[in-house]
């Protein structure tokens, strides 16, 4: 995956070519650069460019393993008490004091559109070459469309209306013309169109070990099911029933292709075992990292390890690890095997707090540099199973919903739902099946950057504020729950984007 885009991505959303200059002596041509229009000559060129799209997924400012600032820290799972470092900008995310001028917000926006730009380049360039087999072209395009859809899914849930660009922008005029926010309904329609092509493509249902990390048809079905579920719960309710049924169809398509019977056959710890990652039956789509490789290794284990600890990595650390909120710690039920695997209390003088242990690679192969081999799981079967619980609950089939919920609880060594709900402590915290499913998603998928999106799907903006207001300030450290308001359902449009076209790039309410 060494392909590098030959056109530079500007902070707005597209490719901006420098305006021509009337003084010829000022015009210089880079002899090492290849214009995009001239790049695609063979199907191997398309493959290399597609590898570049996958490589863009590794960007921690986008959706890779280090991107928790933009999702998990926005939720009630993690955060930070340091409100001084880097001008206090990272702290703004979990403090609900995010400003449009926040440079991390701008970097995140840019990283997401960089992925889309590369995918658009592949889709356009793939049309200009001759293939030995037409199926190859269709597969390459399906992979690019999946990644484009996944990225727009992140954008539309975080910002609502966003610029929708599905072709390369090759001039300043084209960029200016496309610098406006498209209604979220149209963005979702494009996501659905892309993923429909994926599930109807000739991609394999799943990938063999040598191709782990590449898009499969099961991944397309799982993501399309999640998209329809999100549309059903966050868009025009006139289409709610149809969207829920579509969600059920595609989630079941993914579930029926599972390479196991029930979830309890796969120990929870095996899902995150570096030694078993190529044969992990629960993985559906992941970003692959290479153990021991200075350039392509994972750093999530070492980066989350607190000072004085060795459970995650052989690399010594002076940090406090990934900050886990007491609110999440208290949400684990007694006997939940996921708790001891996912978090640990660090007793170092500068820490004395829980840190994340879900991602571990303390092997000699990772070494004292912490060049870990963890893959970053973007979609896995427990997520699909819990979404099936959710969609069946909304459709009124509580028995089916509970059966899916119980698969996850049984693996976690917890009482089944019918037993748990008569427990006074459990029923007081989760009085409805909906809240029970939300709770299970939280503890099952903690630190996988799903929690914020779950909250957006389960609650309206006003309900989300009310939900946070029921929590104890003592469980959130320096981050002030009093800051939470309806505006926080979406991020602000980065100031650098807004000022390019204040009318077309209108700001979200409250900022």
Q: Is the pTM above the cut of 0.85?
A: yes
pLDDT at residue number 35: 56
The CA distance from 244 to 391, in Å, is 6
What whole-number percentage of the chain has pLDDT above 70? 93
The CA distance from 378 to 300, in Å, is 14
Provide the residue ranges of all domains of the chain, joining segments of one domain with +.
Answer: 1-18+36-203, 295-364
Q: Are 79 and 479 in contact (CB under 8 A)?
A: yes
pLDDT tens across 69-105, in order? 999 999 999 999 889 999 999 999 999 999 999 999 9
Q: Are 475 and 325 in contact (CB under 8 A)?
A: yes
Under the banding of pLDDT at 50, 70 and 90, the label for residue 37 is low
pLDDT at residue number 321: 78
pLDDT at residue number 225: 98
What's the average model confidence in pLDDT over 179-200? 98
Under the banding of pLDDT at 50, 70 and 90, the label for residue 422 is very high
Whether 170 has a pLDDT exceeding 80, the answer reads: yes
The CA distance from 362 to 414, in Å, is 29
What whole-number percentage of the chain has pLDDT above 90? 89
pLDDT at residue number 235: 97
Under the banding of pLDDT at 50, 70 and 90, the label for residue 320 is confident
What's the average model confidence in pLDDT over 342-359? 94
What's the average model confidence in pLDDT over 450-458? 98
- If one compares 505 and 16, the residue with the highest pLDDT of the two is 505
From the number of C-beta atoms within 10 Å of its C-beta (0-12, 13-18, 19+), residue 260 rates as exposed
What secondary structure does DSSP assign to 113-124, as a single string? HHHHHHHHHHHH
Under the banding of pLDDT at 50, 70 and 90, the label for residue 165 is very high
pLDDT at residue number 34: 52
pLDDT at residue number 16: 32
pLDDT tens across 300-314, in order? 999 999 999 999 999
Domain 1-18+36-203 top-level CATH class? mainly alpha
What's the average model confidence in pLDDT over 335-364? 96
pLDDT at residue number 31: 43
What's the average model confidence in pLDDT over 209-220? 97
Mean pLDDT of the chain: 92
How many residues are listed for the chain in this entry?
511
Least confident among 14-23, 57-66, 130-139, 346-355: 14-23
pLDDT tens across 39-72, in order? 999 999 999 999 999 999 999 999 999 999 999 9
């Amino acid at each position: 995956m060494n392909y590098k885009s030959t056109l530079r991505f500007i902070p707005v959303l597209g490719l901006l070519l420098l305006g021509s200059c009337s003084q010829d002596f000022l015009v210089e041509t880079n002899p090492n650069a290849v214009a995009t229009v001239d790049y695609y000559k063979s199907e191997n060129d398309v493959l290399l460019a597609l590898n570049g799209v996958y490589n863009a997924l590794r960007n921690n400012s986008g959706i890779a393993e280090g991107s928790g600032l933009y999702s998990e820290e926005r939720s009630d799972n993690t955060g930070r008490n340091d409100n001084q470092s880097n001008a206090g900008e990272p702290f703004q995310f979990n403090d609900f004091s995010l400003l449009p001028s926040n440079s991390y917000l701008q970097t995140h926006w840019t990283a997401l559109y960089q992925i889309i730009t590369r995918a658009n380049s592949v889709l356009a360039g793939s049309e200009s070459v001759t293939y030995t087999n037409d199926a190859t072209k269709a597969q390459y395009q399906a992979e690019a469309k999946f990644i484009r859809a996944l990225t727009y899914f992140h954008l539309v849930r975080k910002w609502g209306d966003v610029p929708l660009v599905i072709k390369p922008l090759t001039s300043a005029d084209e960029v200016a013309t496309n610098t406006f926010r498209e209604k979220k309904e149209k963005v979702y329609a494009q996501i659905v169109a892309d993923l429909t092509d994926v599930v109807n493509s000739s991609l394999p249902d799943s990938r063999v070990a040598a191709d782990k990390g590449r898009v499969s048809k099961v991944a397309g079905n799982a993501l399309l099911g999640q998209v329809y579920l999100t549309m059903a719960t966050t868009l025009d309710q006139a289409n709610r029933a149809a969207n829920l049924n579509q969600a059920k169809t595609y989630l079941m398509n993914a579930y029926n292709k599972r390479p196991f019977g029930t979830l309890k056959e796969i120990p929870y710890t095996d899902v995150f075992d570096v030694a078993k990652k190529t044969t992990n039956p629960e993985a559906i789509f992941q970003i692959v990292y290479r153990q021991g490789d200075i350039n392509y290794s994972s750093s999530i284990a070492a980066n989350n390890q607190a000072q004085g600890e060795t459970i995650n990595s052989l690399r010594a650390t002076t940090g406090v690890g990934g900050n886990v909120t007491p609110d999440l710690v208290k949400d684990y039920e007694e006997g939940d095997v996921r708790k001891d695997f996912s978090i640990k209390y660090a007793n170092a003088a500068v820490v004395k707090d829980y840190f994340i242990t879900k991602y571990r690679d303390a092997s000699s192969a990772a070494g004292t540099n912490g060049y870990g081999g963890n893959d970053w799981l973007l979609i896995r079967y427990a997520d699909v199973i819990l979404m099936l619980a959710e969609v069946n609950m909304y459709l009124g089939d509580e028995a089916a919903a509970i059966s899916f919920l119980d698969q996850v609880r049984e693996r976690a060594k917890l009482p089944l739902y019918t037993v748990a709900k008569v427990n006074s402590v459990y029923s007081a915290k989760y009085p409805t099946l909906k809240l029970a499913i939300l709770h299970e998603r939280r503890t099952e998928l903690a630190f996988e950057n799903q929690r914020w999106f779950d909250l957006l799907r389960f609650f309206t903006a006003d309900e989300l504020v009310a939900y946070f207001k029921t929590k104890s300030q003592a469980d959130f450290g320096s981050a002030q729950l009093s800051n939470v308001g309806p505006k926080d359902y979406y991020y602000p449009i980065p100031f650098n984007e807004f000022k390019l076209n204040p009318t077309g790039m209108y700001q979200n309410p409250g900022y």
